[in-house]
Every structure is written in structure tokens, then in C-alpha cells.
Amino acid sequence: MGYETIFEGEFKLDRPLTEEQYEYLSNFMESRHVVFDREKIDRVDHSYFKFLDLPEKLGLGLGNDLCFVVDGPFPDGHFVLDSNESPASVPCLWCPWEIRSDRQTIAWNGDLNATDCVEWIQFLVHRILVPWGYQISGKVTWSGEYDDDKGYIEIKKGKIRVYEVKLTYVLAFEEKVGG
């Protein structure tokens, strides 16, 4: 089961992604982000494997730690070095965000046990969307199981801001007891 957090709201791009960008970003967001074997990937023809060709075609490259490689038709995990570890430049194995079919809206994917949500939106904005020339804005609130696990992520005017609830206890009542 695990700790659960719910997110509401969305982020909007200033214009829709191209079909190719949408296809890549959708796959990227749904992929398990694992450590790949650079030597094996460097030895194959990237144009033969769409999961290797598309990020290069879209100007991202594969990333120093192959962070832009997405799930593909891996022959028996042939290219995977460690399936339980994520590349150093991505926050964790699973991205908690999805791009909607309008190709312009990014929202929480519904995973109640999502982690590193702020770090993932930062990665998506700084490493993919801004390099593609997009601007993003919007507000997403979160609410976890604990009273003090609430807040929101706001993106506007080129800035990502995170606001968290800070609970403060104040004396509401005091009474002298006994003599």
C-alpha cells in the first residue's frame, strides 16, 4: 500500500506539442527509468530502434546517463544494466505526470504512491520542455495523509514555486488548576 498523496490541477503549455514530441513525451512519462548499458546502446544502429532514434531526432540526445532512453523492444533486457535503479539525473524510476491527449496539458497520472513529484516537474520543464521552446504555467495542489503534507506547485512567468503548509500550534486556552 504505502503513503498516499492526491494531486489536483494541471499545467498548460503555451501551445500543443508536435505529434512526434507528444509521442516521445508520452512514452517517456510512462516508462520505467532504468540504468542502461552505454556500450551496448552505442553499438546498435539508433535509427533501427525508435526508442533510441526519437530523442536524438527531437534534439534531446540520449543524455549523459542515458536518461532520455524510453522503454522499447528490449531483447530480454539486453540494454538494461540495472532495472531497479534510475539514472542519476532523473528523480526516480517512475514519472508521476502525464501529458493529456490535447498535447498541451500536464497533470498527475493518478499514482497514489507517487514520489519526487516536484523534482519530476522540474526535470520535465528544464530538461525537455524549455529546450523545445515551450513555456508552461499552472498550479497543482497536493494533499498527503498527514495534516502538514499539503501544498502546491505553481509555474508562471518562467518560475517554478513550491508552497508547503507549515502547521503552527497556538495557545487556544489556559486555565489554572488547583490552589
Q: How far apart are CA 17 and CA 131, in angstroms?
A: 13
- Whether the CB-CB separation of 134 and 15 falls below 8 Å is answered with yes
Q: How far from chain centre, in Å, is Cα 70? A: 13
Report residue 45 as a C-alpha cell: 544502429
pLDDT of residue 45: 81
CA-only gyration radius of the chain, Å: 20
The pTM assigned to this predicted structure is 0.89
Q: What is the pLDDT along the chain (179 residues), one digit of tens a residue?
A: 689 999 999 999 999 999 999 999 999 999 999 998 889 888 888 777 777 888 888 999 889 899 998 866 655 567 888 989 999 999 999 999 999 999 999 999 999 999 999 999 999 999 999 999 999 999 999 999 998 899 999 999 889 999 999 888 788 888 888 86
Return the bridge partners of 150, or none: 143
What 3-state class would DSSP assign to 21? helix
